Amino acid sequence: MSLRRASIVLIATTVTALGFWLGRDAEQRLEVFISPAPDTPELYMEHFTLMVTGPDGLPRHSIRGERMEQYQLDGSSLVETPVMVMNQPDAPDWTLNAEQAWLSPGGEEVRLHGAVHMSRPEGPAHAPVDIHTRDVSVWPESQRAESEAPVQVRSPLYQVDGTGLRADLQTSILELLHEADATYFP
């Protein structure tokens, strides 16, 4: 066998073996790109602020955080250390802080996970309010919030403890659902 013929056989064998080796995992590698796992982020942002405005161009609410990841399969987002501000036209803005937040794909619902602090500073016709609870669902468009966890509401005018909360942040009407114990200060 000549050297030239041996080289051709060696090259053909190498190409064939390389083709089989590359082809054996091709389906698995392709699957990673075509159908990602539900927890695969499509994009992320760090130290961000997301602001939603109304038809008049004025801010309705905003969310800022350390990191936001948006997921490919359902379009939802996860935010680390979120701060949500619910803008009020005729009253002080509500601020909601949490450990983590989940945002629905269209932004209709925000779920604040872990310890949640909701606050409204003092205004001309409003006393300041501090609320401490856990795991709050917020609907930004209607400016409503709900929790089933224990709740502490503090103000210079009163303090209320209970379980479960429904809050209308536009009107500042707070409803504790169970086991409410209130003290009012003169």
| Domains delineated in the chain | 3-34 (no CATH), 41-184 (2.60.450.10)
- The CA distance from 130 to 152, in Å, is 8
Higher pLDDT, 39 or 51: 51
For residue 18, the model assigns a pLDDT of 65
Higher pLDDT, 8 or 162: 162
Instruction: Report residue 40: phi and psi, to 5°.
Output: -90, 115
Structure tokens at 176: 């504790």
Mean pLDDT within 31-56? 80
- The CA distance from 103 to 16, in Å, is 50
Higher pLDDT, 71 or 178: 178
- Is the pLDDT score of 149 beyond 80? yes
- Is the pLDDT score of 75 beyond 60? yes
DSSP letter assigned to residue 92 = P
- The CA distance from 56 to 163, in Å, is 38
End-to-end CA distance of the chain: 109
- Is the pLDDT score of 168 beyond 90? yes
56 neighbors 37 (Cβ within 8 angstroms): no
Nearest to 96 by CA among 178, 15, 1, 167: 167
- Is the pLDDT score of 154 beyond 90? yes
For residue 141, the model assigns a pLDDT of 93
- Is the pLDDT score of 34 beyond 80? no
For residue 27, the model assigns a pLDDT of 67
Strands (E), 7-141: 41-53, 59-71, 77-80, 83-86, 94-103, 110-120, 129-139
36 neighbors 72 (Cβ within 8 angstroms): yes
- Residue 36's pLDDT band, with cuts at 50, 70 and 90, is low
Higher pLDDT, 25 or 117: 117
For residue 1, the model assigns a pLDDT of 57
